[in-house]
Every structure is written in C-alpha cells, then in structure tokens.
C-alpha cells in the first residue's frame, strides 16, 4: 500500500495538517491570538518562523490553530452530509417509485442553491458563526452523497448477485447492508475526501466573506481576507494561508485518489479484505 505514490504524498500532506491541528491543541510557538504591536510585519526569523502579521501575531501559530477550524468544519460538515445523503441514496435505490422520486426531487431543490448563497441565507436568519457555516456545508453535501450513492447502488441492485441474494430469501435491508453498501463504500470514501477538501475551501471562502468563523478564532480564510489590506506592504501574508489551503486540499484529493485504487479488491494484494 505504500507503493502507491499519490496516496503516500496525499496522506503525508493530510497528516501534516491533522498533526498541526492536534499539536495546536496543546502547544503553539506563540499565542495565535495575542497582539504584539512592536512586532508588526516581522519577516521570518528564528523567533517567528513564518513572520508576523499586521497585529504582530505569529503566523505559524495562526496556521496551526486555523487547521483546527478547517478540520472541524470539514469533519462535521462531511459526516453530517455523508450520513444523511448516503442513507437517502440507499433508500431511493432500494425502494423505487415515489419514494425515489421524492428523494431525488428534494435533491434537485438543494442542488439549486450555491453554498455561499445558502450560507448567507442561514447567516441572515441565525447570525454569522462557524456552526452556521458548518450547517450550510452539511446541507450542500447531502444531495451530493445522495445522488452518488443512489447511482452507485442502482448499478449494484442490477447485478445478478443481488438477484441471487433475493433467491436466498434476503430482504432489501440485508441486501443493502451486505451487498450494496460494501460495494459502493469505495466511491463514498473517495467522495468524502473530495468533499472534505471542498469544505475546507468553502470554509475559507465563507470566512473570507465574513460569514464563517468569527474573530478571534483563527481561520485560514480570514487570514487571507485580512492580508488583502496589506498586500503591497507584505505580500507573503497572503502566501502562507493560501499555501496551507492549497496543500491540504491537494493532499486530501491525492489521498482520495489513492484510496479508490487501494479499496478495490481486484487491485489490492491478497489477504487484505
């Protein structure tokens, strides 16, 4: 499994991000929120590895703490969207007819909302904040997973081993659990990593617009937004959070790609189920 180079690189980058987030729970080089007026716009040094921002905050510490926010948002939003979406998709595939119609039309309705618009709508109702950003992202993820899992499940339902399972007296619930879900798990896992990456991007975008995480909670998107005002004085301020976003999204996408290959029993080595 370590022979798969894309998976290695992807897991490395994602691991770096997760590690930084975990470490920041206990320790960061400096406080990510403390303002030090004398230390504004410091270039990288031994004291501040990546320099300081317009308030004299340590950028590396902010990036580490910001990874927490990104992971938290991605994890919760994707889990909620995946859980509900896959359940709806499997239901639609197992029970054709009006249930399927209802689920899919509801999907179309949700698809029609861009995530940013939905987030702004929710913010208008309940005020800005990280939990409302998570809610918006979760809602957007539901139809993505529902459509994906319904389509994949339908191809499994059309296979003859499902007919054999029915001839063996199994009902739709058991067939879904024993045959359909294991056979579509790989596409769902791959989509989950991609959705995770998109969620990080979207959280950054929402924070940039000011409807995501609120100060003083560190966030990559807001770091990017604030750096915009000082772009001529210190362009690297935009570089660091931008790099953090690009690398973690790239890492998650590469990991998803690798997982897709590794989860196929026909490609994997024997004995690994």
Partner 1 sequence: MSAEALVVAEGLSRHYPLPRTSLFTRAERVRAVDGVDFTLARGHSLGIVGESGSGKSTLARLVLALEPPSGGRLTLFGEDPATLSAEAMRRLRRHMQIVFQDPFGALDPRHRVARIVAEPLQALRPDLARAERRAQALEVMEQVGLRASDGDKFPHEFSGGQRQRIAIARALITKPDLIVADEPVSALDVSVQAQVLNLMRDLETSHGLTYLLISHDLVVVEYLCAEIMVMYRGRIVERAETERLFAAPAHPYTRLLLASVPRMEAGRARRDGVAPPPAEAETGDAIGDGCPFAPRCPLAEHRCRAEAPRAREIAAGHRVACHLA
Nearer to partner 1, 166 or 233 (CB): 166
Nearest approach in angstroms of CB 201 to partner 1 is: 33
**What is the Cα–Cα distance from 254 to 257, expressed in whole angstroms?**
5
Nearest approach in angstroms of CB 97 to partner 1 is: 13
**What is the Cα–Cα distance from 15 to 94, expressed in whole angstroms?**
37
Nearer to partner 1, 170 or 230 (CB): 170
Please, is 55 exposed, middle or buried when counting C-beta atoms within 10 Å of its C-beta (0-12, 13-18, 19+)?
A: middle
Nearer to partner 1, 216 or 268 (CB): 268
Which residue, 90, 191, 106, 91, is CA-closest to 143?
106
Which residue, 211, 239, 55, 230, is CA-closest to 127?
211
Nearer to partner 1, 105 or 270 (CB): 270
Nearest approach in angstroms of CB 268 to partner 1 is: 10
Q: Which residues bind partner 1 (CB under 8 A)?
A: 159-161, 163-171, 174, 179, 182-183, 265-266, 270, 273
Nearest approach in angstroms of CB 174 to partner 1 is: 7
Structure tokens at 263: 């989860």
Terminus-to-terminus CA distance in the chain, angstroms?
A: 13
**What is the Cα–Cα distance from 143 to 188, expressed in whole angstroms?**
13
Which residue, 17, 16, 140, is CA-closest to 80?
140
Nearer to partner 1, 190 or 254 (CB): 190
Nearer to partner 1, 217 or 261 (CB): 261
Nearest approach in angstroms of CB 178 to partner 1 is: 8
- If you search the block for the tokens 């703490």, which residue do you land on? 65
- If you search the block for the tokens 């995530």, which residue do you land on? 115
Q: What are phi and psi of 241, to 5 degrees?
A: -65, -35
- How far, CA to CA in Å, does 175 sit from each of 93, 128, 162, 172, 245? 12, 43, 7, 5, 40
Nearer to partner 1, 29 or 151 (CB): 151
Nearest approach in angstroms of CB 173 to partner 1 is: 11
Nearest approach in angstroms of CB 156 to partner 1 is: 9
Nearer to partner 1, 125 or 169 (CB): 169
Nearest approach in angstroms of CB 184 to partner 1 is: 10
Torsion sign across C-alpha atoms 5, 6, 9, 15:
negative
DSSP 108-133: HHHHTS-HHHHHHHHHHHH-S-HHHH
Structure tokens at 97: 């007819």
């Amino acid at each position: 499994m370590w022979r798969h180079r894309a998976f290695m690189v992807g897991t490395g980058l994602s691991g770096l991000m997760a590690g930084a987030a975990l470490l920041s729970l206990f320790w960061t080089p400096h406080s990510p929120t403390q303002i030090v007026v004398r230390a504004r716009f410091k270039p990288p040094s031994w004291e501040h590895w990546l320099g300081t921002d317009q308030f004299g905050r340590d950028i590396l510490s902010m990036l580490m703490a910001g990874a927490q926010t990104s992971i938290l948002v991605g994890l919760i939003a994707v889990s909620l969207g995946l859980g509900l979406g896959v359940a709806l998709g499997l239901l639609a595939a197992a029970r054709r007819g009006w249930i399927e119609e209802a689920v899919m039309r509801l999907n179309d309705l949700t698809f029609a909302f861009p995530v940013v618009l939905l987030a702004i709508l929710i913010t208008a109702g309940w005020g800005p904040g990280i939990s409302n950003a998570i809610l918006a992202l979760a809602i957007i993820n539901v139809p993505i997973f529902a459509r994906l899992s319904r389509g994949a499940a339908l191809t499994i339902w059309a296979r003859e081993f499902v007919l054999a399972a029915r001839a063996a007296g199994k009902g739709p619930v058991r067939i879904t659990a024993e045959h359909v879900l294991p056979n579509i798990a790989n596409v769902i896992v791959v989509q989950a990593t991609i959705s995770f990456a998109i969620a990080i991007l979207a959280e950054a975008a929402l924070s940039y617009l000011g409807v995501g995480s609120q100060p003083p909670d560190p966030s990559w998107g807001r770091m990017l937004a604030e750096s915009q005002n000082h772009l001529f004085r210190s362009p690297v301020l935009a570089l660091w959070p931008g790099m953090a976003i690009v690398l973690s999204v790239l890492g998650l996408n590469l990991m998803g790609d690798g997982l897709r290959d590794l989860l196929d029993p026909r490609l994997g080595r024997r004995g690994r189920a």
